[in-house]
Amino acid sequence: MGPMRYLPALIVVALASASDVKAQSSLLESVKNNPGEARELCSQFKALNTKGVSAYSSQAISEVARQRNLSSNNAEILATYVIGMNCPDVR
C-alpha cells in the first residue's frame, strides 16, 4: 500500500488549509473595506494599552475572538493586520 494510504489525509489537510486561507482573506478584506471597524479595534487596543495590557495578549485576542465570533488564530491575524495597517503605535 505504501505512501498512497496517506493521500486521503493529505487531501483533507490541503482543502482545510485552502478554506482557512480564503476565510482569513475575506476577514482582512472586510476590515480593509471598513475603516470604521479598524478605528474601533484600534481604540479598543489603545484602551487596553493604557491599562498595561498588550493588544497581542491572550486576553485581548480572546476578546476580539468573542466579539467577532472568530477562532483565536483568526482573531490574532485580524489584530496583527489592523495594528500593522492602522495603529502601529499600539503595543
Q: In this predicted model, what pLDDT tens digit does every residue of 31-61 receive, in sequence order?
A: 999 999 999 999 999 999 999 999 999 999 9
51 phi and psi angles, rounded to 5 deg: -90, 5
- Residue 35 located in a structural domain: yes
Domain that holds residue 17: 2-86
- Residue 73 located in a structural domain: yes
- Residue 46 located in a structural domain: yes
Residues whose CB falls within 8 Å of the CB of residue 57, separated by 6 or more in sequence, listed in order? 48
- Residue 91 located in a structural domain: no
CA-CA-CA-CA torsion for 67, 72, 76, 77, nearest 10 degrees?
A: -100
- Residue 23 located in a structural domain: yes
Structural domain total, the chain: 1
pLDDT at position 22 is 56
Whole-structure pTM value: 0.74
pLDDT at position 9 is 46
User: How long is the chain?
Assistant: 91
Residues 13, 11: Cα–Cα separation, whole Å: 5
